[in-house]
Amino acid sequence: MKRFSWFNATSLTLGFAFLYMPMIILVIYSFNESRLVTVWAGFSTKWYGELFRNAEFLDAAWVTVQVAVLSSTFATVLGTMAAHVLVNAGRFKGRTLFSGMIYAPLVMPEVITGLSLLLLFIGIGLERGIFTVVLAHTTFAMCYVSVVVSSRLVSFDRSLEEAALDLGATPWEAFRLVTLPIIAPAVISGWLLAFTLSLDDLVIASFTTGPGATTLPIKVFSAVRLGVSPEINALSTIMIAIVTVGVVTASLISKRTAVARAREEQAAVRSE
């Protein structure tokens, strides 16, 4: 391996510092004994205990998880369907309009997405609550899923689906039994992306939420306006831990399948 030049070492240090310093400080202060966030008074885990006794935070966390699971699941189904249509159906009337609409939320400012959804819900008289947040998150996460899935579908060999049809499968069976298993990794990463997007969305959620449906980001944001408490540091640390574990697991799984497959392929070549 090449040795690090000074330039590389500096870039790496700066990169890590900018990315992780704030988080490291936050994690350290979550174990602070003192009530004052900025004064270190010794190590303690008491704020974690406080956090788990705080019903408001727990409720908000539960709402957030419900919203994230539901909306990312809906978004994955809809986004995968949209990607399939866009990539495979060739040219049809209104294709450009459809693809434009799907990708619009990607470039639209969140404030506008949130506001327009709010106006829609008011317009059709939908009472705001968890359900409207789920709908809103589905709408904007779906376009991310469809981007991820369609980039996989572009390199998907169309003749596989045709072969399934040729062997007597209905179009739905061909998709379910052939296409879906093959593109599954892309669909799963689309789901994970939608899940994290929903987990940390503040703007759209605050436009579309209603009484009894306060998500964690909304709760944290309003709590911080009254002053940062060590409880919030503790909460953030837990979220960082969850996300880290998730990301590391996902990358380990995909790496291991890639390695196994490469090994199998080599074995096949040798046996020829």
Partner 1 sequence: MAQSVFAPWDDPEQKPLIQFVNVTKRFGDFTAIDDLTLDIYEKEFFALLGPSGCGKTTMMRMLAGFENPTKGHILLNGKVIDTVPPNKRAVNMMFQSYALFPHLSVWDNIAFGLRRESKDKDAIAARVEEMLRLTRLTKFAKRKPHQISGGQRQRVALARSLAKAPKLLLLDEPLGALDRKLREETQFELMDIQEKTGTTFVIVTHDQEEAMTVASRVAVMDEGRIVQVATPQVIYEAPNSVYVADFIGDVNLIRGTASARPAAPAAETPIAKPAPNAPPPEPETTAAEPATDTQPEPRPQPNALGEWLHDTLLTPILGQRDPGPRALPAPTDEERAAHAETAETPASHAEDIPAGGLQIVWADDKPPLIAANGDEALAGKKVVLALRPEKVGISKTRPDAANAMQGKVIDIAYLGNISTYHVELPGGAMIKAQTANTRRISRRDITWEDDVWLSFTATAGVVLEDVS
* Spatial CA neighbour of 83 closest among 189, 201, 203, 169: 189
Mask 231-270, x = binds partner 1 (CB under 8 A)? Answer: ------------------------------x--xx-xx--
Q: Work out whether 157 is an interface residue with partner 1 (CB under 8 A).
A: yes
Among 15, 39, 173, 247, binds partner 1 (CB under 8 A): 173
85 to 149, 150, 157, 174: CA distances (angstroms): 11, 9, 15, 14
Interface pick for partner 1 out of 25, 106, 163, 243 (rule CB under 8 A): 163
Total interface residues for partner 1 by CB under 8 A = 25
Return the ∠ at Cα 126 (arms to 113 and 217), rounded to 5°: 50
Question: Whats the size of the chain, residue-wise?
Answer: 272
CB of 64 to partner 1, least distance (A): 35
186 binds partner 1 (CB under 8 A): no
Q: How far is the CB of 90 from partner 1 (least distance, A)?
A: 11
Structure tokens that stand for 123 in this block:
């317009």
Residue 119 touches partner 1, criterion: CB under 8 A? no
Find the angle CA(264)-CA(270)-CA(271) to the nearest 5 degrees. 90
**95: contact with partner 1 by CB under 8 A:** no
Torsion of CA 53, 55, 61, 62, to 10 degrees: 110
User: Which phi and psi (to 5°) does residue 97 adopt?
Assistant: -60, -45
Nearer to partner 1, 249 or 266 (CB): 266
* Residue 184 or 252 having the CB closest to partner 1: 184
Select from 23, 177, 242, 260 the one that contacts partner 1 (CB under 8 A).
Answer: 177
CA atoms of 86 and 102, how far apart (whole Å): 10
Catalog residues that contact partner 1 under the rule CB under 8 A: 157, 159-160, 162-171, 173, 177-178, 181-182, 261, 264-265, 267-268, 271-272
